[in-house]
Structure 1
Amino acid sequence: MKQVIRYLIPVNALFAIALGTVAQAATGMVVFNSSGCRGHFVVEAASGFAILEWFGGNAPQKGEVIVGGFEEFGMQPIYNTTLGQEGQVWVEDFWLSKASVIKKMERFCR
């Protein structure tokens, strides 16, 4: 049994390998997305909240799970595990508290 367990690869690791960002891959759920926020949305991950700007593919909606390099600044590939689709985002900020993400989103949502 130990031999079988040793060779199992977590699903998130497989998506990270597909994206080419194994070291920086994170998993999170979209918790806020509004048409009035100029393409910016919020993802909640184990390390905190991230503010992302959508750049390619279908924009993820609230409740969808994404995997990718959204714990590193700049343009990053992501994979929407809910829809099975790839996309691109610009990472504005990450590792934020709930209070910080609310305050920072005010400048994008007017």
Structure 2
Amino acid sequence: MNLLARAASERLNNMKRTVPLLLAVLLAGSTGAYAQRVATAAVVLTDYRCSSWAIAEGITGYYLIEWFGGKPILKGDVFSGEINKFGFATVKHRGGQTSRVWVDDFMLSKSRALTKFASKCRI
């Protein structure tokens, strides 16, 4: 086997080892991204003047959410769902009930969450 053929053969063997590893990394990364969107949070602020909006606290920060249906969101509620992204989400409460919410913002600091809540509720 000449030098050029040997180099080409080695390159092909390296690619055969690299492609499955690359696919495994890509698949693991996409699964991880999905898992990171699912989070658990506790409602820490609601206001009777603005009953559809709430602030919830989770491990990655504060969430500004708006209730759209199902079980009403009340202070002290603990729920989980795909809330680490913008948009609609169905969350499941510890008691098994569900709510439909709009995640307006997430990963907020406490002060930023309070500012945005006050702006939404005009208080």
Structure with more of its chain in helix, by fraction? 2
Task: Give the paired residue count.
Answer: 89
Task: State whether residues 63 and 108 of structure 2, in contact with CA within 8 Å, keep that contact through their aligned partners in structure 1.
Answer: yes
Give structure 1 stretches of 5+ with no counterpart.
1-20
Cα root mean square deviation, aligned: 1.5
Q: Could you say which residue in structure 2 is the equivalent of 1:97?
A: 109
Identity %: 35
Q: TM-score, normalised to structure 1's length?
A: 0.74
Cα shift at 1:22:
4.7
Q: Could you say which residue in structure 2 is the equivalent of 1:27?
A: 40
Runs of 4 or more above 2 Å deviation: none
Task: State whether residues 40 and 80 of structure 2, in contact with CA within 8 Å, keep that contact through their aligned partners in structure 1.
Answer: yes
Larger radius of gyration between Structure 1 and Structure 2: 2
Q: Secondary structure at the match of 1:108?
A: helix
Pairing of 1:43-58 with structure 2 (within 5 A): 43-58=56-71
Q: TM-score, normalised to structure 2's length?
A: 0.67
Write the deviation string for residues 30-80 of structure 1: whole angstroms up to 9, x where unpaired. 001112125110110000000000011121211110101111000111001
Structure number with the bigger relative contact order (C-alpha 8 A, sep ≥ 6) is 1
